[in-house]
Amino acid sequence: MEFKHVSVLYNEVLENLNIRENKIYMDATIGGAGHSKGIAKILNNSGLLIGIDQDKDAIKKSQEVLSEYENVKLFNTNYKNFEEILDSLHIKKVDGILLDLGVSSYQFDKGERGFSYRFDSELDMRMDKSSPLTAKTIVNEYSKDELYRIIKEYGEENWAKRISEFIVQERKIKKINTTFDLVEVIKKAVPKGARRDGPHPAKRAFQALRIEVNDELNVLKKSIYKFVERLNPGGRLAIISFHSLEDRIVKNAFRYLYSDCVCPPEQIICTCDKKREIEIITRKPIVPTKEEIKNNNRSHSAKLRVAEKLEVSHDEENNC
- Beta carbons within 10 angstroms of residue 275's beta carbon: 11
Residue 15: give the domain boundaries. Answer: 10-100+216-309
Do 236 and 200 reside in the same domain of the chain? no
Do 73 and 168 reside in the same domain of the chain? no
Establish if 106 belongs to a structural domain: no
Domain boundary among 214, 238, 265: 214
Has residue 319 got a pLDDT over 70? no
Do 132 and 94 reside in the same domain of the chain? no
Residues at the binding site for S-adenosyl-L-methionine are 33-35, 53, 79, 100, 107
Number of domains, the chain: 2
Q: What band does 316 get if pLDDT is binned at 50, 70 and 90?
A: very low
Do 74 and 132 reside in the same domain of the chain? no
Averaged pLDDT, 9-14: 96
pLDDT tens string 69-122: 999 999 999 999 999 999 999 999 999 999 999 776 666 666 678 888 888 999
Rounded alpha-carbon distances, angstroms, from residue 213 to 4, 167, 217: 23, 17, 11
Establish if 144 belongs to a structural domain: yes
Do 37 and 58 reside in the same domain of the chain? yes
Establish if 129 belongs to a structural domain: yes
Strand partners, 286: 304
Q: Which of 58, 57, 61, 50 is nearest to 83 (CA)?
A: 50
Query: DSSP assignment of 230-298, as one string?
Result: TEEEEEEEEEEE-SHHHHHHHHHHHHHHH-S--S-TT-SS--S-----EEES-SS-B---HHHHHH-GG
Task: Report which secondary-structure segment, H or E, holds 40.
Answer: helix 34-43
Establish if 163 belongs to a structural domain: yes
Do 164 and 122 reside in the same domain of the chain? yes
Residues at the binding site are 33-35, 53, 79, 100, 107
Q: Which of 129, 95, 106, 133 is nearest to 18 (CA)?
A: 95
Establish if 320 belongs to a structural domain: no
Do 297 and 172 reside in the same domain of the chain? no
Averaged pLDDT, 228-248: 97
pLDDT tens string 253-277: 999 999 988 888 888 888 778 899 9
Do 126 and 207 reside in the same domain of the chain? yes
Do 124 and 57 reside in the same domain of the chain? no
Do 96 and 129 reside in the same domain of the chain? no
Question: Is 307 exposed, middle or buried, given 0-12, 13-18 or 19+ CB atoms closer than 10 A?
Answer: buried
The reported pLDDT for the residue numbered 261 is 81
Do 162 and 93 reside in the same domain of the chain? no
Phi, psi for residue 95 in degrees, rounded to 5: -110, -5
Establish if 317 belongs to a structural domain: no
Establish if 5 belongs to a structural domain: no
pLDDT tens string 168-198: 999 999 999 999 999 999 999 999 877 777 7
Establish if 21 belongs to a structural domain: yes
Do 86 and 226 reside in the same domain of the chain? yes
The CATH code of the domain that includes 197 is 1.10.150.170
Domain boundary among 214, 240, 258: 214
Q: Which of 255, 250, 179 is nearest to 219 (CA)?
A: 250
Count CA within 13 A, CB hemisphere, residue 198.
12
* Average predicted confidence (pLDDT) for the chain: 91
Domain boundary among 179, 214, 249: 214
The CATH code of the domain that includes 240 is 3.40.50.150
Q: Under DSSP, is residue 123 helix (H, G, I), strand (E, B) or coil?
A: coil
The structure's pTM equals 0.90
Has residue 2 got a pLDDT over 60? no
Which contacts (CB < 8 Å, 24+ apart) does range 174-179 have?
175/140, 176/123, 176/136, 176/139, 176/140, 177/122, 177/123, 177/136, 178/120, 178/121, 178/122, 178/123, 179/114, 179/116, 179/117, 179/119, 179/120, 179/121, 179/122, 179/123, 179/206
The answer to whether the CB of 39 falls within 8 A of the CB of 27 is yes
The reported pLDDT for the residue numbered 314 is 45
Q: Under DSSP, is residue 65 helix (H, G, I), strand (E, B) or coil?
A: helix
